[in-house]
Structure 1
C-alpha cells in the first residue's frame, strides 16, 4: 500500500489592534455598530483580492518583517495586502500511516489521524490531495471531514501554507474577519504539483454508466419581418418551415488531481476507445475518437477547474440514446517532465457517449430565483403550445414589466438568461449548461415600440442602445441620466443565435419588458442560504437575521433606521407579506432576539409544503420578499431565502426476513389456507408480520441525527397493496385497481364493474374474498406449483405525525396457492360393449390433492370435509369432451362432432365408506358400432369446493370391442 506524505506550515495572524480578542464564526452577538467600527481594511482587501485573481495564483510571498503579503496572479500581475508583522509559525506533519501532528518550535501541540487513500494503478480524482487539507473553526479538516487536530486560537485569523512531501508549496488559505464574519481567501499555486489523476465529469448517466452527450441540434430559424417604423405592437419575427441543424464540437470535461494543473504540463492527449460487452445491451462498433489538443484547454466554470478536451469523432459511429448499444472511451494525458518529476501517462476512467437530439429551444430569465419563459416564443409563459403570440414583441408590450431599474441605475439582464430545450423529442424542458459548447450565443438588441401616455413616444429613446447590446438596461435620455426616463418601459430583444452558420441564424427569440422608476439607487436582489430542512414533523423556520439585514443595509448604502424609513415590505391585499412567484411557505415579521429593537422576517414552511416540492422533483425551496421604496425614489429590493430539502430514507433489509418463509431471492412469499384439521376451513388469510423475524419490520440506515422525527421508536409499519399485473384466463382479461388507502385490491373482468378481491387490515392480515366470482376465478386459475395468482405488497412506514418514510427494499409479492388440485390419473380404461353397462367410477379417472401436493384422504383427517368437497361436487361438461376418434392426441376433435350417437353421462355420488372412496359412475355408450382400435376421451371435469371451483381434464381410454 502506497501512501503520500505532506507537511503543512501554519502562520497564526496577530491581532489587528492591540488588545483585540479572537472572534469565532458564531460569535456575532456584538452590537452592530461595534462590529462595523472594527478595523476592516485588510479584510476588504482580501475580499477584493480573491475577486480579482480567482482561486489560482503563481506565488504568495509573506514578508514577516514588514507584514507585506504579495500575491502573483495567474496573469503574472502582482497584488499586495498589508498584514501584521512576525506571525507565529506552526508545522503540520502528516505521516504515511495518516497521523497528523501539529508542532510549534518542534514540540507537539496537537495530533490526530486521517484515512489517506491508496494510490491506485490508474490514479483517480480521489487520490490523496494536499489541497484538501483545510483549517476551519480552529480544527484541521481533510476533504471536509473534521480531524481531532486543534489549532491554537490566534487573534483574528491565520495564513496557512500547504506543502507537499518535497516541501513545495501547493496552496494557501488566508482567514481574516470582515464585519464580524470570517472571510477566507483560498489560492492554489498553478503547476506546483504534477498531474496525478483525471476523472470524467458526466453530462448524464445511462444504465448506471457515466456518459457524455454528443449533441445534435435541430431548429426552425427565425427571421425578422420588415419593421421600418416603430409601432404600438412592436416588431415581429417569422419561423422558417425548413429545419436547420447544428452538429457542434464534442467537449469532454475532466476533473484534475490536483486542480491547479495547467495546459503547460500536458504534452499530448488521446482517447482510448473500443467495442465493449455491456449486458443486456448489444455491442457497438468502436467510434475511434481523437483528442484535439490545440482546441483543448484548462478552464474554470461555475467555480470548478476542468481539463476541457475537444473530441473529434465520426457522428455516424456514435450510438443513439435508445439504440441498445454502447460505445466507451477513456482519456490519456501524457505529462511533461518537470524538474525531478518524470513524464507520466495519466488515464481517466471509462465513460460512454450517446448521440442526443436537442430541439424546441426556449429562452428563460431568472425572476425571484426562478426561471420563467421570455415573451413571444413558441411556448407561452403559462406553458401552453403553440403560442399564438410566437414571434411577436406585442406579448411583452401588453404584459407587466418583469424588472424595474432606477433612473440613475443599470440592470444587467445578460446574466439572467438561460436556454432550455427538449431532448430526444421528449416533453420536459431541460436546461442547457453551456451554450457556447453547442455553437450558440446570445444577441441582445433594444426593441423599439411606441408607448407612453399618448402612444407617441419611441421607448428606445430612454435607454442606451450600446449597453442594450451587452444585455444591460441603462436609462438615458439623449445620452444623459434624466428624470424623463421615469415610467418608461424599455423592451430588450434576446436572440439565441447559431454561430456555425454564415450569416448567423436565429434559433430562438424572445422579449423582456422593464420599467424605469425614479431612484437614487438601483433595486437589487439578495439571496441568503439557510440551513437545510431535514424533513420531519416540525415546520422549517428560518429568519432573515440582523446580520443578513446588515448586508442589505450595506448594499443599499443606508444605515438601519434610514433603510426602514426609505423602504417597506410589500404586502398583499389581505395585509400579509407578499411573496414572489414560485415561493413556498409564509413569511411574517418578528423581533430578532439577538438584536434589541430589530425586526426581521421569519420564513415558515410546513412539512406538507416541502413534501409537495419533493414530489415535483425539487430539492430546494425558497421564499422571496420585496422591499418597496416608500416614496418611489428607489428600485425594489428583493430578498430570497432558500434552503435545501433533505429527505430521510430507509432500507428494509433481507436479513430480517425469515429465510425459510421466502423465495430464494426474498422477492415473494406464499399464502395458503393452512393444513387440514378436523374443523372445515372457512377463510383464506395470511399474517404478513409472521414472515419477518420477531414479527417486526425494522427500518435500517436512517440518519436519525438529522431526522429526529424518524427515529426507530417513532416508526410504525403497515402493509398495503401495490397492485397486480393483468391476468388473462381464456378469453377473459382481469385488470386491477387499489383503493386510495391501499387496503383493498379490486379486479375488473373485461372492463366491467370492479369487485373486491382481497383486503389488508391494520394488523397486516390479508383476507382473500372467497365469495366473489372474480376472486374465485383468479385463485383457481393455476395449480399451486405452476402460476399462482400474484399480488404486489408495499411496506409503508410512518412516524408519529403520519409522515411516510421513503424506503427501498419495501416491495414484495404474495402468491396465493390454490387450495386443491384435480389430477388426471390417465390410467383409466373401459372396454367397448361391456356386458350390461359400460361404466367406471370417476375416482379411477381423477385424483384430488391439496396445496401441499398431498392426496385427499378421510383418515385421520377428512380432506373432503375440510375443503368443502360435498357429495355432488364433481361434474362434467359433456359438450366439450374431446376425442382421438378419427383424430390424434395432438389434434383431438369434439366427440359430439365425430360420433353424435356416442354418449358419456355422469352423476356425482361421493361416498366415503371406510377407506373406500367413490365419486359415482361415469357411463359410456358407443352408439351401436364396433370399435376395432383403442381411442381416448378427454373429459372436462369441474370440482366445486369452499373457495370456488377447479376445472381440469381427465382421460378415459376406450379399448376395442374384441380383445
Structure 2
C-alpha cells in the first residue's frame, strides 16, 4: 500500500516540476515526501492510540494552519493545511443535521424507519433519508426502508470544496474525514472508535438490593378516532373507547460500554443468558431474544422480546430471574464474546395512560391532563401562545404521558414527548391539526397553521384553506386565531391507540413574557477587613455605603429607565429586609442556597434624605468555617420586581469579603526544655536523659503508700511543673495562647508501623488498633479481627495498662506485656520485644478549630513488671539411690533490676508477695541433647528414651512467697530417675510457667546429668 501511495505522489511531483531533474534532486524530493508522509502518519498514529485507549474527540476546530483535534484528556493534535485558504469543519449539530463551519446544511445525519400509519388512517411515506460523508469526498445519501434496510447512493455534491482543507467530524458513523492534509494525498480517514472490552449493566432500579430492569406490561383501553383535517369542522371530535389491551413490549436495557468510545456497530449479534436463582417452585426459565440495539455516548441500548417461561418474583416464588448480555464482537484481530454482569428482571404493570401538559419555556410543570375531547379544548382558554411569525414550535416539547405505576402512583412517564422515551417501549406520539369554526367564520381556526411532524407554524390560509408547509406565508393578521392540535399516543406493537388529547393554541403578536430576566448584577468586592479566628460568637458587620448603593445600583437602573422611586417601591429584597434569602448564582433560574451570615437592608440618613444600604453580618465561628479553606467568601442576594404573574425582573447584589490578613491557622510547639530530662530517653534507649523520644511506663513502685502493683503511669510526671506548656503561638491568636488551651493525650494509630503486629509471650501474633476516640489500644489475634480486647487506655494523662489479676477479660494484654524483658526494646531472636505505643499531645480551645502543634508525638514503652532467669547450675548424678533430686533455683528481678532476694534493695519488702507470685509449674516438653550435640536441645527427651524421667514437685503460693521453713522462698523440686542402662553426661532443658498478678512468664531451666555412679 505504501509503495503505491508514494508512487502516486511522486507522479504528481514529476508532472508539477515538468522538466528534467538530476538523481540528486529526485532523491531530495523522495526524502522530502517521505518526511511529510511520516509526519502525518505519526500524528495519526498518536491520535489513534489515544482513541484506542478510551479517549474521545471533544472538538474539531479550524486554525490558521489547518484543524486542531482536541481529546477528552485535554491533549490536542494538529493537521496542517495542504491547500491555500481557510480550513473548514463539518460536524453533526444538536438537531442531528450536518453543519459546515457552524451553518446548518439541512442534511440529516441519521435516519429512522419510515412511519406506519395511525390505526384507521393511511400510512405516511415508508422511507426515511439521511446523509453521511463519503471517503471519495462526496455526500452519500442513505435511504432507510420501513423494514430498516438501508440503501446508499453517492451524490455529486462534494463535502470538501476544492482547494479548501475540510474536516468532517462524523460521530454518528465513528469517523474523522479530512481532505487536503499537508503530506497526504486523498481523504484522510481516522476511526473515532475503539474496541469493546466489557459491558456493565446500568440499573433502572434495585430489586431488593439487586440491580434490575423492568419487564413492563402496559394496560389501557383502546381508543378509536376518526380522520380529521385542518379545514373541516370537527368540533365534536372525540375518541371512542374500545376493548382493554395488555401490551408487553419486551425489555429495554442499557449497558455502559468500556471504553465509552467503543464502536457498537461492530457488534455482530447479541443474546441473553437467563437463569433463575434460589427457586423453590416449578416453572420454566424465561428467554429474552434480542431484536435491536443502538449505541450513543458510551451507552448501548438493547431491545429484546420475552418468550417461554415465566418471570420469577422473589416474594411469591422465592426466586429471581436474571439475565446477562452476551455480545459477539468483531474485533480488529478476531471475534470475541463479551459477557455483561447479571441483572434481575422484575415484572411490573402500568395502567391508566393519559396525555398531559409538560413544562415549556421556563413555565412551571403542569399537572393537568390534556382535554380528552375537541369540544372541551375549544370551550376553554388556550393552553399555549404562539407568535404569529414563529418558524416552527415543537408541540412535542409541550406534551408528556402520565400513568399509574406499579405502586399505583400517578406519575409522569417521560419529560416531554420530544425525548422519545416512549419509543423504547413500543409507543409513539403523533400530532394533527383539527379543524373547527368560530361563530360565522367560514375559515377553520386550524387552517391558520400548518404542521410538519410535531412542528406547528402559524400561517395565512389560501382561499380559505390550509396551505402546505413550504407554501405557507405568515402575517400579523393571523393574530387571535386558535388552532387546535390532536395528540395521539399509539401502541406500535399492536398498532392500537392508547391515549388521545387536545391542545389549543392562540396566535399572538407578541408573546406574554414567560421568563424572568436579570437586569443588573452589581458586585461589591472591596471588603478586606482582617479576620482572626477566636472561638467566639462575636460578629463582624460589613456594609455597602449609601453612596456606593446610589452609584452602583440606583444610578445603573436609571440608565435602564427604572427610577429610584420605582426601585424603592416595587423591588423587594427576597426573604425580607431582616434576613435576606441568599442565592447560588446570578441567573433567573438561580436557587436559594445555605446562608453565610445575615444580610439585611436598612436605611441611613445622608443629611439630605434617607437611602437604603445593605449590611452583612457574620459571627466569628461561622466565618472560620468559610475562611479556613477559602481566601474570600461571597454572598448573593436578590431584589425582585413582579412584572406579570410569576415573571420577574431581578437585581442580584454580590458582596465579597477578602480578609487581609486572614488568620485561620493557629499553631504552636512543645519545647523539649519543658520536659524533665531524666524521665526521657532516646528512641529504644535504656539510658535516662539520652533524648526526648521515649518515656517508660511501669507499675507502681514497691513500698510506696497504697501501692498495690497497679499499672498506672502519669504522663505529666515527665513534664516540668507536671503540666504541658505550649509556646511559640503568634500573638495575633489571643484565644490560642497557652493559658487558653486544653491539652489532651491520644494514641496514634499504629497501623502501617512496626508497632503492629506484635508477638505475645505465648508466641501468638496480635494486631494492634486504636479506638474510643484515640484513648484505647485494642489487640486481636491476627486474622481474627472480630474478637478484640483492650490493652492500654489513656485516662486524662494517666496510662492504664489492663489485665492485673484478670486472665479472662485481658488475656491478650497479659500475653503481650510478658513477651519480653523490660529492657528488650528491639526484637530478640524469637521476635519478641517490649510493647510500645505512640502518643500524641493535642491542644485546642474550640473543637472546630484545629491547632497545629509541633514536636507533639512520643513513644511510651510498657515495661514488664518482673523478669525471671536461671543463672544457677542444677546438677544430677545418674543412678543415685532413690533417684536424684534438686531444688529449683530461679532469680527474680523487677522492672528496675531489683533482685527480689537482695535485702539492700528490697529494704524489708516482700517482692514475691507484692507481685503476687502464686505458682510455678512445669509445662511443656522437656528437651535434651542426649544422643546429640552437646548444648543443642533439638529432641524431646521422651522421643530419645522412655527410661529416663523427670518429675517436678510444685510449690504452694505460700511456699513461694514465705518459704517452707528451710529456705525463704521455695520454688519446687526436680526429680530425676533412670530405670534403664547407665548413661554418660547429658543435659535437659525444662520449661516452667511462673504466674504472677500480671500474667505468666515462661522460663527455661538447664539441668546437667552426670554419668552413672561408679561407672
TM-score range (shorter-chain normalised) is 0.3 to 0.5
TM-score (norm 1): 0.44
TM-score (norm 2): 0.42
With a CA cutoff of 8 Å and minimum separation of 6, indicate the structure with the bigger relative contact order. Answer: 1
